[in-house]
Structure 1
Amino acid sequence: MNTYVIVFRRGRAALSETEQQQLGQAIGPWAAAQNEAGHRLEPRLLTAEARHYGPHAALAEADALPVTALLFLDARDLDEAARVAQSHPGMNYGFSIEVRAWSGPQRAATAAPR
Structure 2
Amino acid sequence: MIIEHPRYAGGHLGATRIEDVSDARFDFVRVIEGVRRVLEEIGIAFERIPLVPSGGINSFQKISAALELGASGVQIGTPFAVTQECDAHPNFKKVLAEAGPQDIVTFMSSAGLPARAVLTPWLKR
- Do Structure 1 and Structure 2 share a fold, with TM-score over 0.5? no
Greater relative CO, 1 or 2 (CA 8 Å, sep 6+): 1
TM-score, length-normalised on structure 1?
0.29
Structure with the largest fraction of strand:
1
TM-score, length-normalised on structure 2?
0.27
